[in-house]
Chain A
């Protein structure tokens, strides 16, 4: 049966996690939903791929850090096959002198830190407590549509007044502390908090991960608070059994159980707009689908400027969308390894942790400076996981896969990537060899995804992972633009539900909230 011959209540464009979540909630509410995905598989940048036969790994993103438990439960993801190999994966900052640092406040870890540096042990407790306070104050923002800003509405002012009140009620001794943290750079914050270079660098990297900012860029301290707030719903990072693709597979099964019609290889060419109302979509194949409700989980900029077109939008909105920043700065290296590389000083159960490889703060700043100039840095900050340690389905027995996020890799490099891809690879392996000297010998196969590869493979503009950089001026009611912050668009019937919308990240919240907005408006109409 041809797609166009069937009638639907809602069309979801894009089969990433947010699109799937939105489709599930719509179908759960009784809508007949069709989901259109441009490529031949669902999930976008959440995918499990094969490095070489039998070595499976999360191709791009490798940890679920922000998907709320409520989505897991409401969509019955566990019943649909989602298992977690590990929840609440600990974080360990690797040190070249083999005294690795577990970033936690467990009594045992704190005691060890106290032996090392008593000041920092106390500072760490205070810092994490403060971070949690700020994140808790911010949390209600992330669970609903952001406040409407601009115009005669005082929604934003009210929301921020409430935020201040919450911050005080949570025991925040002074409002100044939060006011200080929001515009500050993470570098300044860690410099005044910690003495140990490793601790400073580790938290700086935590705030910078996935952004195109340096440790001393203003606003980066807020990233840490924001990310922590997103994690509050899940209690730490989780590793799905079978890689990130397993999460998508569970979402797919859930969607199908709710009756969502899923069509892959169905790229949307344009959204049909008639006198300010979004009527339907035209696919590249030439099918016309009509529905009173459309949700796009594609990058908001692509949705509005390419699928809808600037002619149907106000010029100011189009210009603001075009100006939103998408600087990809993160590369991914996936390695298939023969045996486990030995990292001196790491106990066997700690291999399953999230390992941070960070240069000292000043070198991290240098790496950012190189990135800005479009050059390859000498040092890279990296986030490493060896998921096969806890998830034996990923690699043959005794063998392992390693997933490495490399920070501050420019989209364009001076002299072109052709000759520099190997240089980057060598530098990364070189750096890793400081911690795991035998890693080079153990590599069987590998794949490197530069920001440009991320763009080509997953359709993420500029190789930027979040469909719009997550930084204070592009978060909350500015995501993706003040007029679009509440998932509605100026076009009646068209909603935005992708990661480029509030709150972003691998949370599925944008999909859930957008579906709620669309359903409530559908009822009103």
Chain B
């Protein structure tokens, strides 16, 4: 597994990734594999390739995903070739909100953290209380540097007694290794050795159930479980950044195309569709989830500390537990909590029937913040945005200026905007236990 990975094992002890499989492994079902081994070889990194020499990466699912593309619109996600839109954004959005949408999210950065001190290491790393996390549970985490500024955020999975997986948007290996000083812990970037699929939508549980993930409905939100799918070990967690009932599937690269094919085979009747990056972004904006590198800059990426954010400024105060054990930045966050935030990352809505683009957000005529992510929600007919606004108390009258083009003429419009206090889209199903196997809509 690891000799095929694009990103080499860090702290190379030459140790093989321990088999995460419970039980025995059978041969995967190769009949369903569409791509031939010859074609596969084209995308496999050469064995004598120096590390990091390859700048344009493809995920192990690239061929399967590419086969779904009707647009040939691709984008870059952490260096991986990723579909922007596979069919049309409306179709994909409809699948996500009313049926089920499958996205290859393998470009997410995944770290395997193991060792005797893994729990205490992570407890010191992130602002939350990791000690409370049980095996097969997931928690959203944010981690800060000494001054209390956010380095990054992500999800922490507890795979075993002393084994965790941290999934983040950006790479943080240097910081993770710096933090490992004094802990008996092994930190390894397993991004290339692990395929991740995001299956989201009201029919997500039904699709998985049909594909052979039995008892899928019993998984609680932020819990996970191993499944043996005809010999393929697949780890399924009830997570996802869409505000929808949804799951994320974690498996071996060699199994991935088979898994993909199987999900489509069994999921077609539920309206399962492959979706691209654009819909993922839109869903995230609707759910009001800021993304690292886009809506906020990590503390080490920010040149000026004014650009960095504290968890309180990102609206992540609920992830900060100042009372449990020590973590990096705790003393600073205790002080910062007493102070007013400098800015806030907020969700905003514009009542305007057409998708628009804008940057500056004005308050009483003066520029007061920046829109960092903008999306047009087809379901609501609203322009939604995540924006970073200077913190101020008192009445809020926000507006944005957009250049609206009609034919060859352009009109500059001032559109009022309103702050959203809660996510505009949030399916009640996402909390339901057991998860509905056949949703009504």
Binding-face segment, B5-13, B32-40, B173-181, B362-370:
B173-181
| CB–CB B183/A311 < 8 A | yes
- CB proximity of B125 to chain A, nearest CB, Å: 7
A-B contacts besides A314-B332, A315-B178, A318-B178, 11 pairs, CB < 8 Å: A151-B147, A276-B330, A305-B182, A309-B182, A310-B182, A311-B183, A314-B328, A318-B179, A318-B181, A318-B182, A322-B181
Q: Nearest residue in B to A305 (C-beta to C-beta)?
A: B182
Report how far A260 CA is from B88 CA in the complex, Å: 81
A-B contact pairs, 9 of them (CB 8 A): A311-B182, A312-B326, A314-B146, A315-B125, A315-B145, A315-B146, A316-B328, A319-B181, A490-B331
Among residues 28 to 62 in chain B, which have CB atoms less than 8 Å away from a CB atom of chain A? none
Query: Does A483 sit within 8 A of B, measured CB to CB?
Result: yes
Query: Within 8 Å of chain A (Cβ to Cβ): is B375?
Result: no
A317 interfacial by beta-carbon distance below 8 Å: yes
Residue ranges of B at the interface with A (Cβ–Cβ < 8 Å): 120, 124-125, 145-147, 175, 178-179, 181-183, 326, 328-332
Q: Among B175, B179, B326, which residue has its beta carbon within 8 angstroms of that of A276?
A: B326
Question: With the chains together, A317 CA to B179 CA distance in Å?
Answer: 10
Closest beta carbon of chain B to A150's beta carbon, Å: 8
Residues from chain B with a CB closer than 8 A to the CB of A309 are 182
Cα–Cα distance between A314 and B332 once the two chains are bound (Å): 10
B175 neighbours in A (Cβ, 8 Å): 315
The answer to whether B146 and A317 have CB atoms under 8 Å apart is yes
Q: In whole angstroms, what is the CA distance A305 to B181 when docked? A: 9
Closest to A316 in B: B146
Residues of chain A contacted by B326 (CB below 8 angstroms): 275-276, 311-313
Q: Which of B120, B146, B331 has the most CB of A within 10 A?
A: B146
Q: Is the CB of B120 within 8 A of A311?
A: yes
Chain A residues 293-321 with CB under 8 Å of chain B are 305, 309-319
Chain B minimum-CB-distance residue to A306: B182
Pick from A276, A305, A311, A483: contact of B124, CB below 8 A. Answer: A311
Measured CB to CB, the closest approach of chain A to B88, in angstroms, equals: 46
Which 8 pairs from chain A and chain B are nearest by CB? A310-B182, A315-B179, A316-B146, A314-B146, A319-B178, A314-B328, A315-B328, A318-B181
CB pair A310–B178 under 8 Å, yes or no, is no
What's the Cα separation between A10 and B181 when bound, in Å? 30
Task: Compute how far the CA of A322 lies from the CA of B180 in the bound complex, rounded to whole angstroms.
Answer: 12
Task: Name the prevailing secondary structure of the A interface residues.
Answer: helix
Considering the chains assembled together, what is the distance between the CA atoms of A315 and B182 in angstroms?
Answer: 10
A55 vs chain B, min Cβ distance (A)? 44
Q: Which residues of A202-240 are within 8 A (CB) of B?
A: none
Task: Assess whether B331 is in contact with A310, with CB atoms less than 8 Å apart.
Answer: no
Q: In the complex, how many angstroms separate the beta carbon of A275 from the nearest chain B beta carbon?
A: 8
Residues of A within 8 A of B330 (CB): 276, 314
Give A138-156 interface residues, CB cut-off 8 Å to B.
Answer: 151
Shortest Cβ distance from A150 into B: residue: B147
A490 to B330: give the CA distance in the assembly, Å: 10
Residues of the A chain whose Cβ atoms lie less than 8 Å from the Cβ of B147: 151
Q: In the bound complex, do residue A316 and residue B183 qualify as a contact, i.e. CB atoms below 8 Å apart? A: no
Q: Once the chains bind, are A314 and B182 in contact (CB under 8 Å)?
A: no
A contacts, CB < 8 Å to B: 151, 275-276, 305, 309-319, 322, 483, 490
The smallest beta-carbon distance between A90 and chain B, in angstroms, is 47
In the complex, A490→B332 CA distance in Å? Answer: 10
CB distance from B326 to the nearest CB of A (A): 5
Q: With A and B bound together, what is the CA distance between A312 and B331 in angstroms?
A: 11
Tell me the minimal C-beta distance from B175 to chain A in angstroms: 7
Q: A151-B147, A319-B181, A483-B146 are in contact. Are A314 and B329 (CB under 8 A)?
A: yes
Smallest Cβ distance from A310 to chain B, in angstroms?
3
Partner of B181, one of A275, A312, A315, A483: A315
Whole-angstrom distance between the alpha carbons of A203 and B167 in the complex? 57
The interface centre, meaning the residue of A275, A316, A490 with most chain B CB atoms within 10 A of its CB, is A316
Residues of B with C-beta under 8 A to A318: 178-179, 181-182
Residue of A nearest to B324 (CB): A275
State how many angstroms separate the Cβ of A300 from the closest Cβ of chain B.
15
CA distance A490 to B331 in the complex (A): 8
Query: A318's closest neighbor in chain B, by CB?
Result: B181
A residues in contact with B124, CB < 8 Å: 310-311, 315
Measured in the bound complex, the distance between the Cα atoms of B123 and A311 in whole Å is: 9
In chain B, what residue has the closest Cβ to A313?
B326
**Contact present for B146 and A310 (CB under 8 Å):** no
How many Å lie between the Cα of A245 and that of B162 in the bound state?
51
Which residues of the partner chain B approach A312 to less than 8 Å between Cβ atoms?
326
Min Cβ gap A356→B in Å is 41
Give every chain B residue within 8 A of A322 (Cβ-Cβ). 181
Question: In the complex the two chains form, what is the Cα distance from A305 to B326 in whole Å?
Answer: 15
The residue in B120, B326, B328 that gathers the most chain A C-beta atoms within 10 A of its C-beta is B326
The CA-CA distance from A101 to B142 in the complex, in Å, is 64
State in angstroms the CA–CA spacing of A315 and B149 once bound together.
13
In the bound complex, residues from chain B placing their C-beta under 8 Å from that of A310 are 124, 181-183
Query: Do residues B178 and A316 form an inter-chain contact, with CB atoms below 8 A?
Result: yes
Partner of B145, one of A151, A305, A311, A316: A316
CA distance A305 to B182 in the complex (A): 8
* Complex: A318 Cα to B124 Cα, angstroms: 12
A490 nearest in chain B by CB position: B331
Q: Which residues of A contact B146 (CB under 8 A)?
A: 314-317, 483
Q: How far is the CB of B335 from chain A (nearest CB, A)?
A: 10
Residues of chain B within 8 A (CB-CB) of A483 are 146
Nearest-neighbor residue (CB-CB) of A317 within chain B:
B146
User: In the complex, what residue of chain A is closest to B123 when comparing beta carbons?
Assistant: A311
Cα of A322 to Cα of B183 in the assembled complex, Å: 13
User: In the bound complex, what is the Cα–Cα distance between A318 and B326 (angstroms)?
Assistant: 13
CA distance A497 to B124 in the complex (A): 27
Complex: A306 Cα to B330 Cα, angstroms: 21
Which of B120, B183, B331 sits near A314, CB closer than 8 Å? B331
Residue among A305, A311, A312 with max Cβ neighbours from chain B (10 Å): A311
Cβ contacts under 8 Å, A315 to chain B? 124-125, 145-146, 175, 178-179, 181, 328
Taking CB atoms, residues of chain B closer than 8 Å to A314 are 145-146, 328-332
Determine the distance from Cα of A247 to Cα of B7 in the docked complex, in whole angstroms: 58
Give the residue name and chain of the A residue nearest to B305 (CB). A151
B contact residues around A319 at 8 Å (CB): 178-179, 181
- Min distance, Cβ A426 to any Cβ of chain B, angstroms: 42
How many Å from the CB of A326 to the closest CB on chain B?
16
CB of B258 to closest CB in A, whole Å: 41
- Collect the chain B residues with CB atoms within 8 Å of residue A151's CB: 147
A313 to B325, CA, bound (A): 11
Measured CA separation A322–B175 after assembly (Å) = 14
Q: Which residues of A have CB within 8 Å of B179?
A: 315, 318-319
Cα distance A117–B326 in the bound complex, in angstroms:
65
Measured CA separation A62–B343 after assembly (Å): 58
Q: B177's closest neighbor in chain A, by CB?
A: A319
Q: How far is the CB of A47 from chain B (nearest CB, A)?
A: 32
Q: How far is the CA of A483 from the CA of B332 in the complex (A)?
A: 12
Residues of A within 8 A of B125 (CB): 315
CB proximity of A178 to chain B, nearest CB, Å? 29
Cα of A275 to Cα of B323 in the assembled complex, Å: 9
> Chain A contacts of B145 at CB under 8 A?
314-316
In the complex, how many angstroms separate the beta carbon of A323 from the nearest chain B beta carbon? 9
**In the bound complex, what is the Cα–Cα distance between A275 and B328 (angstroms)?**
13
